[in-house]
Amino acid sequence: MKNILFTASECTPFVKTGGLADVIGSLPQSLNKTQNTKVKVILPFYDEIPSHWQSQMEQVASINVPIGWRNQEASISMLEHNGVDYYFIANDYYFTRKGVYGYYDDGERFVFFSRAVIEALPHLNFTPDVIHAHDWQTGLVVAFAKILQPIPDIKTVFTIHNIKYQGIMPHDMFDDFFNLSMSHFGGLEWNGVLNCMKSGIFHADKVTTVSPSYAEEIKDPFYSEGLHPLLLEREDDVSGIINGIDTGDYHPLKDPYIHVNYRHSRAKKKINKEHLQKTLNLAVDPDKPLYVMITRLVEQKGIHLMQRILDEFLEEEVQIAVLGTGDFEFEDFFYHAGQRYPDSLSVQLTFDEKLARQMYASADFFIMPSQFEPCGLSQLIALQYKAVPIVRETGGLKDTVTPFNEITGEGNGFSFNNYNAHDLLETLRYSLKVFHDPVQWIQLLKNVNKSQYSWKDSANEYAQLYEELEHVNIYS
């Protein structure tokens, strides 16, 4: 039995801003159920965590966390949920705030959290064989684990969920936040500044990312956000394991949030669509194809392409529903577009899990034209709710969506290669053509119905990786 400690900055059902939370909320459960592992998870305690979860936590210990020359107190509490022990590190100064990220001192907050994870190790009621850290917020957990060796021979895995966000700080924070000798500066620094993502990649025994294609892409300057030299150096230790989703939770037959539950039935999906059209004040016409986007409204998600072609595509007999939050430029654009097309375009600028599920359940198509996409969970959720994904061929989108081929009858979606608005428009128009061709449409839906991305295979791959770590010599 391998003891694994997951550490991350978000996790469903406690706190979520994106796909990372879905992964941390479902992979440990799947590992504990299907593999010979005991996974525990350690997270920051945010004010945002709903009170019914907070009231289930039990305090385990109080610890002192050294931050440079200072000491901060932290308390550790714990709850058990679906076979996984979750630990939460609380500190009023760093985490009793509104929201999750976006503060000027986010770097310092996660230096604190990372060091606190190390100090918390004696209080977790197990000795981890492996620390598995996720994204920049916990890159320093890996660095501290290697430098301070709180557990002799501890092994580490660092997973990159999105290399765009690296957690950088001015280099002079090294003295302020880390009581480490200068010999360790080089392992934390990149291009003259402290970089938490680099620290994780540099110190981890194994580095993974969330799809095989993205693992290749990030060695290229176009995708690497400057870190390709390091990734090329560590090439032999970098691999891609595709994310899954919790297919028990995202399940149209059981989902309590949706209007009518269904397995494959298009008729029942139409009832959901009609209900959604009423909820969103769209023209009620369940025969009209509905295209949905549920996304952070940021450049990464290909929003610029949608901006270019929205008016042209809305000349067709279609409806589009957008749910998202993000950059002002995009929120503003969609808000005004929504005013111009009240019958055919709905724009909801909010984060709403229930509405998201109703939209997946109602959608005929799910649009995701990302500039880059490490894995993408939304297209997997869409497939699970029998909405046909339309994606750009990048990262995990390329690994999970195969373009429909009307000759061979293969494919579970639509895709285009170049990051070009009119290629997206052509693909959308082609999807509409297939929608109106009963023979092809039924064939495509058959393929969609067969596409399932549960954690089964990927959990197995992670378990194998943890086994391989036995043979890593930490002093090499």
49 binds ligand ADP (CB under 6 A): no
Is residue 327 within the footprint of ligand ADP (CB under 6 A)?
A: no
**Contact (CB, 8 A) for 369 and 306:** yes
User: Concatenated DSSP letters for 320-350?
Assistant: EEEEEEE-HHHHHHHHHHHHH-TTTEEEE-S
Q: What are the Cα distances from residue 461, in Å, to 35, 155, 319, 455? A: 10, 17, 40, 10
- Number of chain positions touching ligand ADP (CB under 6 A): 18
C-alpha dihedral, 325 to 330 to 336 to 342, nearest 10°: -60
For residue 32, list its beta bridge partners: none
The span of 12-20, 72-80, 87-95, 214-222 binding ligand ADP (CB under 6 A) equals 12-20
Which residues have C-beta within 8 Å of that of residue 315, sequence separation ≥ 6?
none
Under the criterion CB under 6 A, does residue 295 sit at the interface with ligand ADP? yes
Distance CA 429, CA 470 (A): 52
Query: Which residue in the block uniquely carries the two structure tokens 């290749």?
Result: 216
Of 323, 367, 448, 459, the one binding ligand ADP by CB under 6 A: 323
Least separation in angstroms between residue 1's CB and ligand ADP is 30
Minimum CB separation of residue 382 from ligand ADP in Å reads 9
Residue selected from 230, 381, 391, 448 as contacting ligand ADP according to rule CB under 6 A: 381
Residue 165 binds to ligand ADP (criterion: CB under 6 A): no
Q: Which of 18, 187, 212, 286 binds ligand ADP (CB under 6 A)?
A: 18
Q: Which amino acid type is present at position 325?
A: T
Strand residue runs (E) in 262-379? 290-297, 319-326, 345-348, 365-368
Q: Should residue 296 be labelled a site residue for ligand ADP when binding is judged by CB under 6 A?
A: yes
Interface with ligand ADP, residue 376, by CB under 6 A: yes
- Per CB under 6 A, the segment of 272-280, 377-385, 450-458, 463-471 that binds ligand ADP is 377-385
CB atoms within 10 A of CB 115: 23
Instruction: Mark 347-366 with x for binding to ligand ADP (rule: CB under 6 A) and - for no binding.
Output: ----xxx--x----------
Residue 38 binds ligand ADP, judged by CB under 6 A: no
The answer to whether residue 246 forms part of the interface with ligand ADP (CB under 6 A) is: no
Query: Quick one: DSSP state of residue 167?
Result: -
**Of 15-23, 64-72, 258-266, 454-462: span binding ligand ADP (CB under 6 A):** 15-23
- Look up residue 133 and give its two tokens: 């850290």
CA separation for the pair 27, 207 (Å, rounded): 17
Among positions 120-159, residues that touch ligand ADP (CB under 6 A) are none
Position among 294, 390, 421, 444 found at the interface with ligand ADP (CB under 6 A): 294
Which single residue brings its beta carbon nearest to ligand ADP? 19
Beta carbon nearer to ligand ADP, 93 or 335? 335
Rounded Cα–Cα distance for residues 442 and 239 (Å)? 36
Using the rule CB under 6 A, is 19 a contact of ligand ADP? yes
The span from the CA of 260 to the CA of 166, in Å, is 42
Eight-state DSSP code of residue 11: B
Give contact residues for ligand ADP (rule: CB under 6 A): 18-20, 22, 294-296, 323-325, 351-353, 356, 376-378, 381
